[in-house]
A and B are shown apart, each in its own frame.
Chain A
């Protein structure tokens, strides 16, 4: 059972916009930044979004992050076939001893 709750799957056709939600609480998302990672099985996870809405160099502006209260979202606009991957949200939780807490991951399928 993950501390952060994500839908297990999301899908869209090429060019569509897909949004992934990440639900937490006042002790995690509600009080700090959110981070998003893209992971293709067998490869190294990749940082997509840091500090809730910032993109590292090289990450396309098709990817955007936002937060409202105790929930965060990752939006992928102009969906492309190479976006098919698992996406994880992450943050800290003041009530736990864990340094990082993650969502359970969302598998994005490009139809």
Chain B
């Protein structure tokens, strides 16, 4: 079955760090563009980061310098390392297969909740 499963969310204090994982099955992460998208409480979706097939990475201005996207090809898993977390980073984080203009974000995980609070 083709799917994405996120994990690693939880409650963390402001200034703390957390690493999210996104395990893929049914397709190869390293052969696809992969994005992280978050949904903040009561608000809509916000794109967070993308990793290209070749390894290039890009970030939303709101997380640049604090978040790092990476992947482990042997585990077919995408990661999001989140440092210097802020209250406003509280959200459900989704990973998604990103087919860009060809077909958009065509496959999403169920999300993992990150709560930043003291």
Contact = CB atoms under 8 A, between A and B. Distances in A.
Interface of A: 2, 32-33, 35, 37, 42-47, 50-51, 54, 56, 88, 90, 92, 97-105
Interface of B: 4, 35, 37, 43-47, 50, 58, 60-61, 94, 96, 98-99, 101-111
Contact of A44 (B45, B103, B109): B109
B44 to A, nearest CB: 4
A98 B60 contact: yes
Contacts of B4: 44
Given A103-B44, A104-B43, A56 B103 contact: yes
Contact of B106 (A50, A98, A101, A104): A50
Contacts of A51: 101-104
A33 B105 CA distance: 13
B104 A35 contact: yes
A99 B101 CA distance: 11
Contacts of B37: 100
B44 A43 contact: no
Contact of A97 (B44, B58, B109): B58
B44 A2 contact: yes
Main secondary structure of the interface of B (DSSP, over half): strand
9 contacts: A44-B108, A44-B110, A45-B108, A51-B103, A88-B45, A99-B58, A100-B105, A103-B44, A104-B44
Given A98-B60, A99-B50, A56 B44 contact: no
Q: Which 10 A-B pairs have the closest CB atoms?
A: A100-B47, A35-B104, A44-B108, A102-B45, A104-B44, A50-B104, A105-B44, A50-B103, A45-B108, A44-B110
Given A45-B96, A98-B60, 15 more contacts: A32-B101, A43-B110, A44-B4, A45-B108, A50-B102, A50-B106, A51-B101, A51-B103, A90-B105, A99-B47, A99-B50, A100-B105, A101-B47, A102-B46, A105-B45
Contacts of A46: 108
